[in-house]
Amino acid sequence: MIKAPKWCSNAVPSRAGWLDPYTGEVLKMQNFSKEQIAEWHEAKNPTPVKKKPKVVEPAEDVPYIFEVKDSE
């Protein structure tokens, strides 16, 4: 996997080389493939693993009480 230069650890890779993430200025010219750039982004921002939703069964039958008020 590619690594940013030590003197600019917050740099991001592009096809032109390492860029300043705020200004877009090329900090170090280097050739990267699209696969290398995608791999770097995936390592920095991993896709969260989707967990199955937890199914909760009701503990017991609970009677519902509804109050009806007269409109008088």
**Inter-residue contact 12 to 24 (CB < 8 Å):** no
Tokens 């509804």 belong to residue? 66
Kindly state whether residue 23 falls inside one of the protein's structural domains: yes
**Inter-residue contact 1 to 43 (CB < 8 Å):** yes
The answer to whether residue 62 scores a pLDDT higher than 70 is no
For 52, the token pair is 């199955």
Number of domains in the chain: 1
**Helix or strand (DSSP H, E) at 13:** strand 12-13
Higher pLDDT, 28 or 68: 28
Give the pLDDT of residue 72: 61
For 44, the token pair is 């920095």
Name the most confidently modeled range: 2-6, 25-29, 48-52. Answer: 25-29
Separation of alpha carbons 15 and 56, rounded Å: 49
Task: Give 9-37 pLDDT, tens digit per residue.
Answer: 899 999 999 999 999 999 999 999 999 99
Which domain covers residue 32, as residue numbers?
Answer: 6-44
For 5, the token pair is 């230069």
Kindly state whether residue 37 falls inside one of the protein's structural domains: yes
Can you give the pTM of this predicted structure?
0.59
Kindly state whether residue 26 falls inside one of the protein's structural domains: yes
Kindly state whether residue 65 falls inside one of the protein's structural domains: no
